Copies of this chain bind each other. A is one copy, B any other.
Amino acid sequence: MAGEAKSKARAAAPRASARELLIDAAGAVMSEAQTIDVPLTDIAARADVNVALVSYYFGGKDGLLLALAKRDAKTALGELDRLLSLNIGPAEKLRRHLGGVIKTFFRYPYLYRLLAALMRDGTAENAREIAQFFAEPLAKTAKELMEAGIADGSIRKFEPGLFYMAALGACEQIFANRTILKVVHGIEDIDEDLQRRYANVVLEMLTRGYLTDPETRD
Protein backbone atom coordinates (compact mmCIF):
# COMPACT_ATOMS: atom_id res chain seq x y z
CA MET A 1 0.00 0.00 0.00
CA ALA A 2 2.58 2.49 1.07
CA GLY A 3 4.80 1.49 -1.85
CA GLU A 4 1.93 1.84 -4.25
CA ALA A 5 1.02 5.26 -2.89
CA LYS A 6 4.65 6.32 -3.17
CA SER A 7 5.00 5.32 -6.81
CA LYS A 8 1.70 6.96 -7.64
CA ALA A 9 2.89 10.15 -5.97
CA ARG A 10 6.12 9.97 -7.94
CA ALA A 11 4.32 9.34 -11.20
CA ALA A 12 2.01 12.25 -10.53
CA ALA A 13 4.78 14.67 -9.53
CA PRO A 14 5.56 17.43 -12.03
CA ARG A 15 8.47 16.62 -14.33
CA ALA A 16 10.61 19.39 -12.88
CA SER A 17 11.03 17.50 -9.61
CA ALA A 18 13.48 14.97 -11.12
CA ARG A 19 15.76 17.97 -11.60
CA GLU A 20 15.52 18.84 -7.87
CA LEU A 21 15.92 15.18 -6.87
CA LEU A 22 19.19 15.00 -8.82
CA ILE A 23 20.54 18.21 -7.25
CA ASP A 24 19.63 16.99 -3.73
CA ALA A 25 21.18 13.59 -4.44
CA ALA A 26 24.44 15.12 -5.74
CA GLY A 27 24.84 17.10 -2.50
CA ALA A 28 23.96 14.13 -0.29
CA VAL A 29 26.26 11.68 -2.07
CA MET A 30 29.25 14.09 -2.04
CA SER A 31 28.67 14.93 1.64
CA GLU A 32 28.65 11.28 2.64
CA ALA A 33 31.58 10.26 0.43
CA GLN A 34 33.63 13.27 1.71
CA THR A 35 34.82 13.84 -1.84
CA ILE A 36 33.46 15.53 -4.95
CA ASP A 37 34.68 12.66 -7.15
CA VAL A 38 31.53 10.55 -7.07
CA PRO A 39 30.13 8.54 -10.01
CA LEU A 40 27.12 9.97 -11.76
CA THR A 41 25.46 6.55 -11.47
CA ASP A 42 25.59 6.83 -7.65
CA ILE A 43 23.86 10.21 -7.82
CA ALA A 44 21.17 8.94 -10.20
CA ALA A 45 20.64 5.84 -8.04
CA ARG A 46 20.22 8.00 -4.92
CA ALA A 47 17.75 10.23 -6.75
CA ASP A 48 15.99 7.10 -8.05
CA VAL A 49 15.83 8.52 -11.56
CA ASN A 50 17.36 7.43 -14.86
CA VAL A 51 20.95 8.63 -15.28
CA ALA A 52 20.08 9.89 -18.79
CA LEU A 53 18.08 12.70 -17.15
CA VAL A 54 21.37 14.32 -16.10
CA SER A 55 22.10 15.09 -19.75
CA TYR A 56 18.49 16.10 -20.32
CA TYR A 57 18.35 18.62 -17.48
CA PHE A 58 21.96 19.71 -17.05
CA GLY A 59 23.83 18.78 -20.25
CA GLY A 60 26.19 16.57 -18.21
CA LYS A 61 27.81 16.11 -14.81
CA ASP A 62 29.52 19.53 -14.73
CA GLY A 63 26.16 21.17 -15.36
CA LEU A 64 24.57 19.25 -12.48
CA LEU A 65 27.39 20.20 -10.10
CA LEU A 66 27.17 23.84 -11.22
CA ALA A 67 23.41 23.80 -10.54
CA LEU A 68 24.08 22.41 -7.03
CA ALA A 69 26.73 25.09 -6.35
CA LYS A 70 24.28 27.74 -7.53
CA ARG A 71 21.48 26.49 -5.29
CA ASP A 72 23.76 26.47 -2.21
CA ALA A 73 25.21 29.87 -3.10
CA LYS A 74 21.69 31.29 -3.43
CA THR A 75 20.84 30.07 0.09
CA ALA A 76 24.04 31.62 1.47
CA LEU A 77 23.53 34.92 -0.35
CA GLY A 78 19.92 35.05 0.86
CA GLU A 79 21.17 34.79 4.44
CA LEU A 80 23.69 37.55 3.75
CA ASP A 81 20.88 39.81 2.48
CA ARG A 82 18.92 39.28 5.70
CA LEU A 83 22.06 40.08 7.73
CA LEU A 84 22.66 43.30 5.83
CA SER A 85 19.15 44.50 6.64
CA LEU A 86 19.79 44.29 10.41
CA ASN A 87 20.25 47.48 12.41
CA ILE A 88 23.85 46.78 13.58
CA GLY A 89 27.18 48.39 12.74
CA PRO A 90 29.40 47.32 9.82
CA ALA A 91 32.10 45.71 12.03
CA GLU A 92 29.50 43.45 13.67
CA LYS A 93 27.87 42.69 10.30
CA LEU A 94 31.27 41.64 8.95
CA ARG A 95 31.84 39.39 11.98
CA ARG A 96 28.45 37.68 11.58
CA HIS A 97 28.97 37.31 7.84
CA LEU A 98 32.33 35.55 8.36
CA GLY A 99 30.66 33.31 10.95
CA GLY A 100 28.02 32.56 8.29
CA VAL A 101 30.74 31.62 5.78
CA ILE A 102 32.09 29.02 8.22
CA LYS A 103 28.57 27.66 8.83
CA THR A 104 27.96 27.42 5.07
CA PHE A 105 31.10 25.33 4.51
CA PHE A 106 30.10 23.14 7.45
CA ARG A 107 26.57 22.66 6.12
CA TYR A 108 27.74 21.97 2.54
CA PRO A 109 31.07 20.15 3.10
CA TYR A 110 31.61 19.67 -0.65
CA LEU A 111 30.97 23.31 -1.60
CA TYR A 112 34.48 24.72 -1.21
CA ARG A 113 36.14 21.98 -3.24
CA LEU A 114 33.31 22.00 -5.77
CA LEU A 115 33.60 25.72 -6.46
CA ALA A 116 37.41 25.50 -6.64
CA ALA A 117 37.29 22.51 -9.02
CA LEU A 118 34.63 24.06 -11.27
CA MET A 119 36.63 27.29 -11.49
CA ARG A 120 39.97 25.55 -12.01
CA ASP A 121 39.07 22.67 -14.31
CA GLY A 122 35.80 23.72 -15.88
CA THR A 123 35.36 25.96 -18.86
CA ALA A 124 36.27 29.65 -18.70
CA GLU A 125 32.53 30.27 -19.00
CA ASN A 126 31.85 28.20 -15.85
CA ALA A 127 34.54 30.14 -13.97
CA ARG A 128 33.03 33.46 -15.04
CA GLU A 129 29.54 32.27 -14.13
CA ILE A 130 30.62 31.23 -10.62
CA ALA A 131 32.46 34.50 -10.19
CA GLN A 132 29.36 36.43 -11.18
CA PHE A 133 26.78 34.59 -9.09
CA PHE A 134 28.92 34.04 -5.98
CA ALA A 135 32.44 35.45 -5.69
CA GLU A 136 31.68 38.92 -7.01
CA PRO A 137 28.54 39.62 -4.91
CA LEU A 138 30.46 38.44 -1.81
CA ALA A 139 33.51 40.56 -2.61
CA LYS A 140 31.32 43.60 -3.32
CA THR A 141 29.39 43.24 -0.05
CA ALA A 142 32.58 42.75 1.95
CA LYS A 143 34.11 45.85 0.36
CA GLU A 144 31.04 47.94 1.24
CA LEU A 145 31.08 46.69 4.85
CA MET A 146 34.82 47.41 5.15
CA GLU A 147 34.43 50.91 3.74
CA ALA A 148 31.49 51.68 6.03
CA GLY A 149 33.50 50.39 9.02
CA ILE A 150 36.59 52.38 8.05
CA ALA A 151 34.37 55.47 7.67
CA ASP A 152 32.73 55.07 11.11
CA GLY A 153 36.09 54.22 12.73
CA SER A 154 35.22 50.69 13.85
CA ILE A 155 37.42 48.86 11.28
CA ARG A 156 41.14 49.35 10.59
CA LYS A 157 42.24 50.75 7.25
CA PHE A 158 42.89 47.56 5.27
CA GLU A 159 42.74 47.15 1.50
CA PRO A 160 39.26 45.56 1.44
CA GLY A 161 39.94 43.04 -1.36
CA LEU A 162 43.13 41.73 0.22
CA PHE A 163 41.64 41.64 3.72
CA TYR A 164 38.58 39.72 2.54
CA MET A 165 40.70 37.18 0.66
CA ALA A 166 42.79 36.52 3.79
CA ALA A 167 39.68 36.32 6.01
CA LEU A 168 38.02 33.79 3.67
CA GLY A 169 41.23 31.74 3.68
CA ALA A 170 41.03 31.54 7.47
CA CYS A 171 37.34 30.54 7.32
CA GLU A 172 37.89 27.84 4.70
CA GLN A 173 41.16 26.24 5.77
CA ILE A 174 39.79 23.55 8.07
CA PHE A 175 37.35 22.45 5.36
CA ALA A 176 39.86 22.66 2.49
CA ASN A 177 42.59 20.40 3.87
CA ARG A 178 40.98 17.25 5.18
CA THR A 179 44.18 15.27 4.66
CA ILE A 180 46.17 17.60 6.95
CA LEU A 181 43.36 17.44 9.48
CA LYS A 182 43.48 13.67 9.38
CA VAL A 183 47.22 13.01 9.12
CA VAL A 184 48.56 15.80 11.36
CA HIS A 185 45.74 16.23 13.86
CA GLY A 186 44.14 12.78 13.76
CA ILE A 187 40.71 14.28 13.06
CA GLU A 188 38.59 12.17 10.70
CA ASP A 189 35.48 14.29 10.59
CA ILE A 190 34.37 17.84 11.41
CA ASP A 191 31.51 17.65 13.89
CA GLU A 192 29.38 20.48 15.23
CA ASP A 193 31.56 20.96 18.31
CA LEU A 194 34.76 21.33 16.24
CA GLN A 195 32.99 23.66 13.81
CA ARG A 196 31.91 25.89 16.72
CA ARG A 197 35.39 25.92 18.31
CA TYR A 198 36.97 26.72 14.95
CA ALA A 199 34.47 29.54 14.34
CA ASN A 200 35.31 31.00 17.77
CA VAL A 201 39.06 30.92 17.07
CA VAL A 202 38.70 32.41 13.58
CA LEU A 203 36.33 35.20 14.62
CA GLU A 204 38.41 36.14 17.68
CA MET A 205 41.58 36.09 15.55
CA LEU A 206 40.04 38.17 12.77
CA THR A 207 38.43 40.76 15.02
CA ARG A 208 41.07 41.18 17.74
CA GLY A 209 44.23 39.43 16.51
CA TYR A 210 46.50 37.13 18.45
CA LEU A 211 48.34 39.79 20.42
CA THR A 212 46.93 40.49 23.85
CA ASP A 213 45.90 44.08 24.58
CA PRO A 214 48.94 45.93 25.96
CA GLU A 215 46.93 47.41 28.87
CA THR A 216 45.79 43.99 30.10
CA ARG A 217 49.31 42.53 30.07
CA ASP A 218 51.38 42.38 33.20
Contacts and interface: CB of A to CB of B under 8 A. Distances in A.
B131 A162 contact: no
A127 to B, nearest CB: 5
A90 to B, nearest CB: 10
Contact of A185 (B161, B163, B217): B161
Contacts of A11: none
Interface in A176-191: 176-177, 179-181, 183-185
A177 B136 contact: no
Interface in A63-115: 91, 94
A159 B210 CA distance: 11
Interface in A146-161: 149, 153-156, 158-159, 161
Number of copies: 2
A91 B211 contact: yes
Interface residues of A, number: 56
Nearest to A216: B153
Contact of A184 (B136, B167, B198, B209): B136
B166 A202 contact: yes
A150 to B, nearest CB: 9
Given A119-B179, A120-B179, A162-B174, A205 B209 contact: yes
Contact of A166 (B153, B163, B165, B170): B170
A210 B201 contact: no
Contacts of A218: 153
A17 interface: no
Given A177-B116, A184-B135, A210-B94, A204 B169 contact: no
Given A119-B183, A162-B174, A212 B156 contact: yes
Nearest to A182: B127
